Amino acid sequence: MNAASFYAKAPRHLVAVDCIIFGFDEGKLKLLVIKRKVAPMAGEWSLVGGFVQPDESTDDAAARVLKLTTGLDDIYMDQLHCYGDVNRDTGARVISVAYYALIRIKDHDKPLAQEHGAHWLELEHMPELIFDHKKMIEDALVKLRDNAQFHPIGFELLPQKFTLSQLRSLYEEIYGRTLDKRNFRKKILSLDVMEKLDEKDKTSSKKGAHLYRFDPEKYEQLKKKGLVFEI
């Protein structure tokens, strides 16, 4: 008996994937969005998305759709949530599996993304998006902030050498709020996962600000001993 015949009487639904790609660039947290090319809602702002093909997993579909739509390749994405509200898509009954990632925009070919019709927009200036994409972004931000609270993801978005002000500004972008300068400095230095360099950044003042470098090996050693990266 054909395997498909076992479920011949079962209802059929469309399965899609949506990619929530956050990018950090020039001190701002941005989101990769596109102008939708198909009906319904053609011409409106949308997350990067598409349908899962019969011969691929949702993970493979997300990677394929992202590359096809934006040109971005080899991006590690975490699965966020499954969105299955009956009326979430005005075109049909569509269940969507959302994925999210946080990247440093300068590490990727920005013109290539633009060539495909994708745009990096600042979160604080985000236009209205289709369907339940706003909810997806809100959920992804919660997950992103949880990860930033307990894992050193912020260091991956900065240059190899950075100031404490640059680091604080990054976390302010991620959390969407202002952090107390003294408390942040005290807390981040108490973690003892950074190396203070004999160099200064003098771009903003003659006195300059000390540069630091994240020490991943030391972090891994301390993590094995029970270190909790909490900011």
**pLDDT, mean of each 10-residue run, the chain (231 residues):** 74 95 90 93 95 97 94 92 96 97 84 78 93 97 90 87 93 92 93 92 80 92 79 73
Residue 174, C-beta contacts closer than 8 angstroms, at least 6 positions apart: 29, 144, 145, 148, 154
d(CA 223, CA 207): 35
pLDDT at position 201, please? 85
Phi, psi of 37 (to 5 degrees): -100, -10
Q: Which two tokens stand for residue 212?
A: 């630091």
Domains of the chain: 10-147 (3.90.79.10), 151-224 (1.10.10.10)
Phi/psi of residue 221, nearest 5 degrees: -65, -45
pLDDT at 116: 78
Determine how β-strand 45-46 pairs with β-strand 194-201.
unpaired
